Amino acid sequence: MSISVPSTGTVRLVFMGAAGVGKTALIQQLLYDRFEQRHRRTVEEVYCLEPDPELLRLHLEIVDTSGSYSFPAMQKLRIQQGDAFALVFSLADLESFQEVERLRQEILRVKGETDVPIVVVGNQTDRFPGMEAETGQLLALQAAATAELEWDSGYVETSAKLNHKVQDVFEELLRRVNLPCMLSPALERRRASAQPEPRKRQSRRKQQSCILS
């Protein structure tokens, strides 16, 4: 399913999923071309990306939500504001896919619609050699069939650690809101101008968002 968005303004891509499935790792791999081995708890962070202004005057906000959902009001607000959603789970963890199913139901409830742009992301393909092969393969098949056939959603299997198909997730999200794919030029500018920032101590307040070209 896809929707149309205005040619100006802000498009919000919201990443949701259980704690530890790699939401932050996917975003940082895309924006900074880096992977942090150590898991750090996220409350909420907002990253901004400005595509080519000559082609489309749109700002992209990538919202990295908490996996603990300690603040239901914040979760509801982000669902209301979101234009497309990446629901991330770990291919090594069946319960994390069950959380994706719950989150999808919550998104449909809050939006009051049955057709919402959603991409289901099976992350951590790099962990397949270390898990029971049959278990991992069955979960991958179940997730793909559920997302694509039952939900009419996108489905991508990724490894944030290996940077495998990470950009595909963002391109699929943009496709589902009918945006031409201008991610590569924007990313080149973003990576060239943005130096890795030292991690700041997390607070309960949302970080300020800003437009970075």
Tens of pLDDT along 35-93?
887 766 666 889 887 766 665 667 889 999 987 666 788 889 999 999 999 999 999 89
In a domain, 202, yes or no: no
In a domain, 204, yes or no: no
| Sheet with 44-49, side-by-side order of all strands | 44-49, 57-65, 8-17, 84-90, 118-123, 154-157
**133: containing domain:** 8-184
In a domain, 212, yes or no: no
Predicted model pTM: 0.81
Return the higher-pLDDT residue of 196 and 70. Answer: 70
Q: At which residue do the structure tokens 């607000």 appear?
A: 77
Q: DSSP label at 64? A: E
Angle at 111 between CA 146 and CA 155, to 5 degrees: 25
Residue 196 predicted with pLDDT over 60: no
DSSP line for 80-91: HH-SEEEEEEET
In a domain, 21, yes or no: yes
Question: Domains in the chain: how many in total?
Answer: 1
In angstroms, the CA 38 to CA 25 distance is 10
